Amino acid sequence: MTAIAKLYYFAATGKGNQIRLALAAGGIDFEDVNATFPPSEEQVKEWRSIGQNTTTNVPMLVTADEKVYTQSSAVLRAVARMGNLLPPADDDDLQYTLDKILADCEDIREAAYGSFAMFGAAKEKTDTFVSTVFPMHIGNLERQLGDADYFVGSKLTVADISVYDALVNFGAGCQTFEDFPKIKALLDRVAADPKIAAYLAGEQFAVLMKFDKNVMFGAEA
| Model confidence pLDDT, tens digit, residues 136-152 | 999 999 999 999 999 99
211 found inside a domain: no
139 found inside a domain: yes
Same domain assignment for residues 62 and 140: no
Same domain assignment for residues 174 and 154: yes
The number of angstroms, rounded, from the C-alpha of 12 to the middle of its chain's C-alpha atoms is: 11
Q: Write the pLDDT tens digit of every residue in 112-141.
A: 999 999 999 999 999 999 999 999 999 999
71 found inside a domain: yes
H or E element, residue 206:
helix 203-206
Please report, to the nearest 10 degrees, the dihedral formed by the alpha carbons of residues 167, 214, 210, 166 taken in order.
Answer: 10
Same domain assignment for residues 114 and 185: yes
H or E element, residue 162:
helix 158-164
Nearest to 136 by CA among 112, 164, 158: 112
Q: Is 22:59 a contact under the CB 8 Å cutoff?
A: no
212 found inside a domain: no
Same domain assignment for residues 97 and 59: no
Q: Count up the domains in the chain and report the number.
A: 2
Query: Taking all residues of the chain, what is their mean pLDDT, rounded to a whole number?
Result: 94
Same domain assignment for residues 79 and 110: no
Same domain assignment for residues 73 and 129: no
pLDDT tens, per residue, the chain with 221 residues: 446 899 999 999 999 999 999 999 999 999 999 988 899 999 999 999 999 999 999 999 999 999 999 999 999 999 999 999 999 999 999 999 999 999 999 999 999 999 999 999 999 999 999 999 999 999 999 999 999 999 999 999 999 999 999 999 999 878 779 899 999 999 999 999 999 999 999 999 999 999 999 999 987 65
74 found inside a domain: yes
Sheet of strand 5-10: strand arrangement = 30-35, 5-10, 60-62, 68-69
216 found inside a domain: no
**Sequence-ordered list of residues with C-beta below 8 angstroms from that of 66, at least 6 positions apart, any chain:** none
Nearest to 6 by CA among 36, 35, 22, 30: 30
Same domain assignment for residues 55 and 99: no
Domain range for 65: 5-85+199-206
Q: What is the CATH number of the domain that holds 15?
A: 3.40.30.10
159 found inside a domain: yes
Same domain assignment for residues 116 and 177: yes
Q: What is the model's pTM?
A: 0.95
> Alpha carbon of 182 to those of 22, 58, 111: distances in Å?
22, 33, 23
Same domain assignment for residues 129 and 45: no
Q: What is the CATH number of the domain that holds 172?
A: 1.20.1050.10
Same domain assignment for residues 110 and 146: yes
Same domain assignment for residues 9 and 99: no
**Sequence-ordered list of residues with C-beta below 8 angstroms from that of 3, at least 6 positions apart, any chain:** 29, 63, 64, 65
Same domain assignment for residues 115 and 132: yes
221 found inside a domain: no
